[in-house]
Amino acid sequence: MTRAERSYPSTNPGKRQTLLPRKWLVTLTLSDQTHMPQTFVIGDIHGSYRALLQCLQLSRFDHKQDTLICLGDVADGWPETRQAFDELLKIDNLVYLLGNHDFWALEWMESGFAHSTWLEQGGQATVNSYSDGIPDSHFDLLKKAKPFHVRYNELFVHAGIHPNKPLESQGLNTFLWDRSFAEQARHYHAQDENYRLTSFDSVFVGHTPVFTPQPKQYCEVWMMDTGAGWSGRLSMMNVETRESFVSEPVMNLYPGIQGRKKF
């Protein structure tokens, strides 16, 4: 039996909605669709496939030419984790970083055991979205996900780092779970906007949400999680121009459905 043929119990195994209603799509002109290859970064998606589509369309993202750096945590929260992964896998140049919720989801995919803590943190929605089984491509994407990514002198990581230690000496616990790095950036930025925590030109992180209309910069740290897992929005940014592309509040895209219940 292949992994794609395996299925695990769902508390809501009804049919999934796979088509995004036209009212949630963004209308683009032909002139809007012409651009040179670009690199983008996107924050924590947390099952909000409809918000992902909005960001891709607003940014005029080219699935063949452009590069998307995903900061992880596509899983858990809103009901369309599977659809979100399907969309990401259409991108030829995808850089996928492992998030802490992806780590939990991967454990479940490997073992079939769903820990109660994970289910309460949005995992139940992920289990429900795979009521028809887990595609091998989804498992492989998470299994091969990177702990961090360096592009030129820019660092991309899901949660954080220890600024005074070499990246090679740090582990997944820091890259997936740390919040102290984001807290330090906020603290030092309040005292001196020009303060730098690292030797990188920029650092892009998710994990610690900022409930602002767009990603927030503290020192050289860009905080990309704008609360899509709860009542916030999903944010995507052009790495070269720093232009942001932000979805509607995700709860408006899933009327009558609740996202993550716990922080």
H or E stretch at 85: helix 81-88
pLDDT of residue 31: 44
Buried b / exposed e across 63-92, counting CB within 10 Å, b at 16+? eeebbbbbbbbbbbbbbbbbbbbebbeebe
Percentage of residues of the chain with pLDDT beyond 90: 82
Residue 11 pLDDT greater than 50, yes or no:
no
Q: Is 205 helix (H, G, I), strand (E, B) or coil?
A: strand
CATH no. for 36-253:
3.60.21.10
pLDDT of residue 260: 80
Look at residues 254, 229, 258, 256 and name the one whose alpha carbon lies nearest to residue 21: 254
Strand 202-205 and strand 221-223: the pairing is parallel
Distance (Å, whole) CA 15 – CA 88: 21
Asked if residue 43 lies in contact with residue 72, where contact means CB atoms within 8 angstroms, the answer is no
Residue pLDDT, tens place only, 126-160: 999 999 999 999 999 999 999 999 999 999 999 99
Amino acid at 137: S
pLDDT of residue 19: 45
CA atoms within 13 A on the CB side of 215: 29
Quickly count helices (H) and strands (E) in the chain: 9, 10
Residue 221 CB partners (closer than 8 Å, separation 6+): 181, 182, 185, 197, 202, 203, 204, 205
Residue pLDDT, tens place only, 186-232: 999 999 999 999 999 999 999 999 989 999 999 999 999 999 999 89
Phi/psi for 95 (5° steps) reads -110, 115
Counting Cβ atoms within 10 Å, is residue 10 exposed (0-12), middle (13-18) or buried (19+)?
Answer: middle
Asked if residue 228 lies in contact with residue 246, where contact means CB atoms within 8 angstroms, the answer is no
Domain ranges of the chain: 36-253
Distance (Å, whole) CA 122 – CA 229: 9
